[in-house]
Amino acid sequence: MATTNTTELLEALASEIGEGVYMDIAKWHLYLSDAKLHTIVAEQLYPLITANTVNEDQVLAVLKSIPVKIGGGRGELPLIDLLPLQCQVNLVDILEKYQREM
């Protein structure tokens, strides 16, 4: 039962991140769900929620550790470099909301 709850929570978290957080590339907004990064981000950030330690510095550290391939895989950038500041704030807000609900 706990596994189902964790799976459901991760799916809901990934969905909310995917719909509310985007990468800004040449003034184009590529939402994380469209880039297929929402699940990876949710899985990486979920331990912060369960440990009750969501804070901006830790979230930014996780975002720095997630590589995004560019140019057909010829290079990669950390996800943090592609997210505008407002999306970083939105992401922290989403995580804090889930932390309160747990």
Each residue of 86-97: pLDDT tens digit? 999 999 999 999
Per-residue pLDDT at 69 exceeds 70: yes
> What's the pLDDT score for residue 6?
85
User: 85 φ, ψ to 5°?
Assistant: -55, -40
Domain boundaries defined on the chain:
2-101
The pTM of the full predicted model, rounded to 2 decimals, is 0.90
How many helices and strands, by DSSP H and E, does the chain display? Answer: 4, 4
> What's the pLDDT score for residue 81?
98
Per-residue pLDDT at 52 exceeds 50: yes
With tokens 């990934």, the residue in question is 14
What is the mean predicted confidence (pLDDT) over 36-42? 98
Q: Are 102 and 50 in contact (CB under 8 A)?
A: yes
